[in-house]
Structure 1
Amino acid sequence: MIKINLITVGKLKEKYWRDAAAEYAKRLSAFCKLDIVELNESRLSDNPSEKEKLAALDNEAESMAKYIDGSNTYNIAMCIEGKIISSEELSAKIEDCGTNGFSTINFIIGSSFGIAQSVKQKCDFKLSMSKMTFPHQLARIMLLEQIYRGFQISNHTKYHK
């Protein structure tokens, strides 16, 4: 069974987001081993300088390193400059990872300032959900739903219409 890690910066604060994440985690348990890793968000001033932002991203990158540097791991950075793909294409990508010998897929969601360039360079694929901007909490739920949908597509169920 393939392992899927959601490596996220920050926690789901509201109960309704946590409930939604728990529901998708329960659904996904039939298809994969899901682990949601919540890394601490760097504390910044109200109006941080570029230098402060870069230092925060570097700090977050250090926390991510132990997850993304593993062997047999396929890393996907969730970022605005990533490629926009369909649900079917995401399903195929997940299937291809298993076929190509990857035992783990990491989906990386950074902080509100994004993901450090050093992390993006280590990633095998950059994925964007849309040209629109979403709150990180909503993006996490949307990603969980799309991963679930991907498995449903692969298994030819009625969930995906």
Structure 2
Amino acid sequence: MGIDIIAVGKIKEKYIQEGVSEYAKRLSRYCKLNIVEVPDEKAPENLSDAQKEQVKQLEGERIRAKIKKGSFVIVTDINGEQMSSERLASKLNELILSGKNDITIVIGGSLGLCDELVKNADMRLSFSKLTFPHQLFRLILLEQLYRCFKIIHAEPYHK
């Protein structure tokens, strides 16, 4: 099974880079993980709504270009479905059992995702009503994917 994570922007903080590397290593037992970073657009604080939409459209085009044809696409969206770790593991297992061998999870930039990407996704997923920095969210996502695989394989998480 392959999981592509397409994320806007690079991770700058070393501690987040180290965490991402650690969970990517742990996940290698369960799946072929591919993290794809697409460049983010400059988004100063004083952008108009139209300029914000333009930034999201440009980032969205870069994201769409990286999504494999036939992949099951999950977008992270604050208005998406919230679920427990157990429910997310169950959903991931359902996808695996139904033959979905390619899963793409999309993390938007600081302004979020363009409407078209959200509307065309196979699934919208929210981790919380809280807002997380998109770079930190990548680490949170990887930890949850690792937890999901531990749940699916009935393996203990903490020792």
TM-score using structure 2 length? 0.95
> What is the Cα deviation at residue 134 of structure 1?
1.1
- Quick one: distance in 2 between partners of 1:87 and 1:45? 35
CA RMSD in angstroms, aligned pairs only = 1.4
Q: Which runs of 5+ in 1 are unaligned?
A: none
Q: Compute the displacement of 1:136 (Å).
A: 1.2
Describe how 1:6-155 pairs up with structure 2 within 5 A: 6-68=5-67, 70-71=69-70, 73-155=71-153
> 1:14-40 CA deviation, whole Å, 9 max, x = no partner?
111100000000000000000111110
In structure 2, list runs of 5 or more residues that go unmatched: none
Alpha-carbon shift at residue 46 of structure 1 (Å):
3.3
Q: Which runs of 4+ in 1 moved over 3 A?
A: none
1:160, distance to aligned residue in structure 2 (A): 6.3
CA distance in 1 between counterparts of 2:73 and 2:88 reads 13
Distance in 2, Cα, partners of 1:140 & 1:146 = 10
Shift of 1:85: 0.2
Equivalences, count:
159
Check whether the contact 1:153–1:160 (CA below 8 A) recurs between aligned residues.
no
- Which letter does structure 2 place at the counterpart of 1:129? F
